[in-house]
Structures are given as structure tokens and as C-alpha cells.
């Protein structure tokens, strides 16, 4: 097991390497990085920054292929999301893949993406909400409209993450309760962002970020994810529930809540912000179990 110092050194090595790959990506796709901050994901799998594309500001991103994130994160997720209409989101303008030839992570595939620049800033630094944001009523209306448009988009075929099996196994692990797979044959399925937390939403003008994981999911999965990430701020949790009550209060919506609860409980103890949700997630899971 690595010491804290060894972990810090490994993270810094990855950060510096990604910064170099971001410069290489800029050359490949013909943009000029700004002198602004570089944003790394918490797992140090990607880096991004504002760049100049001719006379336009864009977002430049470089991402490293990592088998540990498959199938939840799709390599072509951001690009394929260009086909989705009616949802305020970045549009990938162009992209290019290459094989890493450095000694560090030799042979891994990398991708450079140039996309339209989202306005505003993310509502939370991480996924979990700790303080009440000031969001206009129009933001909430746009959130509702955007998720309804997304749900109406033709759902991808298949279920690569085994949504039902994952939830059933999670319920047995976290709640010592056995569910029958067959009882979920009548679930309603729609297209979902599938990682809709507060770090993937901007304000005061709404943009939905990070489309690597979008897929087929039980109806209400996105609303359930946002709701669970709001539980430490009851006024916002209530607002999310009220905005999507027609979906969350269905049997499929309760299954979606249960699925999200066990997904996050599985990561309890990792040191992330999700740890603060443990008690509330258990309450949500118990309530959903009593209703499905």
C-alpha cells in the first residue's frame, strides 16, 4: 500500500504529464491554449483549459483511455452526444486520437477534443452540494426542459452496466435485502446523462457538462442522481424532488433512487465528498425499498 507521500508524488507526476499532453493536443488540433488554469478531473484522467480557435474561445480537453472506467465511460461519449437536441450542452467541434509513446503509460490511447465553451461556472466544485446556490427560476425551468428532451432522445441499445443486476447486488450488500430480478421487468427506460451531479451543471445559465457516460437508464435516473447529491441542502433537495416528482414518485423512479443510493454507498470510505451523504443515502434507500 502506498504512503500518503507516494500518492502525492504519483498524482503530481500524472498532473505534469497531462499538462504536457494538453500542449501536444493543442498542436494536433490547431488551437492556442490560454494562460488560464488547467482543470484536472479528480481521478487525473483528463485535463482541460480555455483555448483560442481562430477568433473564438473554445474548451480544449485531453483524456487518457483507462480500462477501469469501461463500460460506464464511453470513449466516444462526448462526440456521440452531438446528436442530442434540446439540451444545453457543449458541442464537440473536432477531435483526434493518438497513441502515447512516452515511457510513462506507454501505449495508452489519448484523445484531444475541441468543444464549444460553456458559459458560467460549475455550481459545485465536486458533485455534492454543501451550500445553497442562488439559481433563477429560469435555470430550474431549463433543467426540467433539458432532461425531458434528453429522455425523449432515442435510447442507446443494450445495458452495458447491468443496471438492474448492479442495483440488486448493491441492495443485498448495503441493506441485507434480497430482490428478485424479475420484479423489474416493467421498468421504463430512457436516455440519461447518467452522471448528473452539481459539478456537471453550470449557472446562472444552464449547461450540462461531461457526456462520457450517457446511456440507457431507468426513467428518473438523472433526477435521482441530482437529488442524492443535494441531500445536505434540504431546500435544494426538495426543489429537485418537486421539479421531477412526476418521474421520481413512480415505481421506476423509486428504483432509480435506490440504484443511485447503492452506487454511492459502494464508494463510502473513499475519502470523497460522497462520504458525507452516507446517512441520508441509507434513509433514501430504505424508503425506496419500501415503495418498490
Q: Which domains does the chain have, with CATH numbers?
A: 4-117 (3.30.200.20), 137-289 (3.90.1200)
Across the range 132-156, mean pLDDT stands at 97
CA dist., res. 63 & res. 21, Å (int): 9
Element (H, E) at 225: helix 221-228
CA nearest to 90, candidates 48, 129, 127, 54: 48
Is residue 54 pLDDT above 90, yes or no?
yes
Work out the mean pLDDT of the chain and round it to a whole number: 96
Q: Decide: pTM greater than 0.85.
A: yes
pLDDT for the residue 144: 98
- Written as nine digits, the cell of 249 is 414518485
DSSP 8-state code for residue 90? -
pLDDT for the residue 36: 83
pLDDT for the residue 185: 93
Res. 240 pLDDT band, cuts 50 70 90? very high
Across the range 257-271, mean pLDDT stands at 95
Is residue 173 pLDDT above 80, yes or no?
yes
Q: Under a CB-based contact definition with an 8 Å cutoff, are residues 288 and 258 in contact?
A: yes
Is residue 2 pLDDT above 90, yes or no?
no
Listed in order, strand segments (DSSP E) in the chain are: 32-33, 39-40, 46-53, 56-64, 92-99, 109-116, 121-122, 189-192, 202-203, 215-218
pLDDT for the residue 221: 98
Across the range 87-116, mean pLDDT stands at 97
Give the least confident one: 26-30, 38-42, 113-117, 136-140: 38-42
Q: Residue holding cell 425499498?
A: 289
pLDDT for the residue 44: 93
pLDDT for the residue 42: 87
CA dist., res. 93 & res. 98, Å (int): 17
Distance of CA 247 to the CA centre of its chain: 20
pLDDT for the residue 270: 87
Q: Under a CB-based contact definition with an 8 Å cutoff, are residues 249 and 222 in contact?
A: no
- Written as nine digits, the cell of 111 is 484523445
CA dist., res. 150 & res. 279, Å (int): 31
Is residue 239 pLDDT above 90, yes or no?
yes
Amino acid at each position: 500500500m502506498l504512503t500518503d507521500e507516494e500518492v502525492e508524488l504519483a498524482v503530481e507526476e500524472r498532473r505534469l504529464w497531462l499538462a504536457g499532453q494538453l500542449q501536444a493536443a493543442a498542436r494536433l488540433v490547431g488551437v492556442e491554449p490560454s494562460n488560464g488554469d488547467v482543470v484536472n478531473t479528480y481521478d487525473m484522467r483528463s485535463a482541460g483549459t480555455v483555448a483560442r480557435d481562430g477568433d473564438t474561445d473554445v474548451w480544449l480537453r485531453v483524456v487518457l483511455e483507462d480500462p477501469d472506467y469501461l463500460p460506464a465511460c464511453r470513449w466516444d461519449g462526448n462526440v456521440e452526444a452531438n446528436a442530442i437536441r434540446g439540451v444545453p450542452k457543449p458541442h464537440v467541434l473536432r477531435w483526434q486520437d493518438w497513441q502515447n509513446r512516452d515511457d510513462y503509460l506507454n501505449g495508452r490511447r489519448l484523445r484531444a477534443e475541441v468543444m464549444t465553451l460553456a458559459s458560467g461556472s460549475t455550481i459545485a466544485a465536486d458533485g455534492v452540494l454543501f451550500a445553497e446556490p442562488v439559481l433563477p427560476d429560469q435555470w430550474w425551468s431549463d433543467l426540467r426542459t433539458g432532461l425531458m428532451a434528453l429522455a425523449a432522445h432515442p435510447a442507446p441499445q443494450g445495458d452495458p452496466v447491468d443496471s438492474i443486476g448492479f442495483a440488486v447486488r448493491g441492495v443485498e450488500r448495503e441493506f441485507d435485502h434480497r430482490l428478485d430480478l424479475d420484479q423489474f421487468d416493467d421498468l421504463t427506460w430512457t436516455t440519461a446523462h447518467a452522471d448528473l451531479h452539481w459539478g456537471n451543471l453550470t449557472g446562472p445559465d444552464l449547461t450540462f457538462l461531461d457526456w462520457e457516460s450517457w446511456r440507457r437508464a431507468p426513467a428518473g435516473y438523472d433526477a435521482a442522481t441530482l437529488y442524492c447529491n443535494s441531500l445536505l441542502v434540504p431546500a435544494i433537495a426538495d426543489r429537485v424532488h418537486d421539479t421531477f416528482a412526476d418521474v421520481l414518485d413512480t415505481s421506476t423512479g423509486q428504483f432509480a433512487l435506490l440504484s443511485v443510493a447503492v452506487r454511492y454507498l459502494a464508494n463510502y470510505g473513499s475519502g470523497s465528498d460522497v462520504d458525507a451523504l452516507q446517512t441520508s443515502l441509507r434513509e433514501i434507500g430504505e424508503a425506496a425499498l419500501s415503495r418498490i
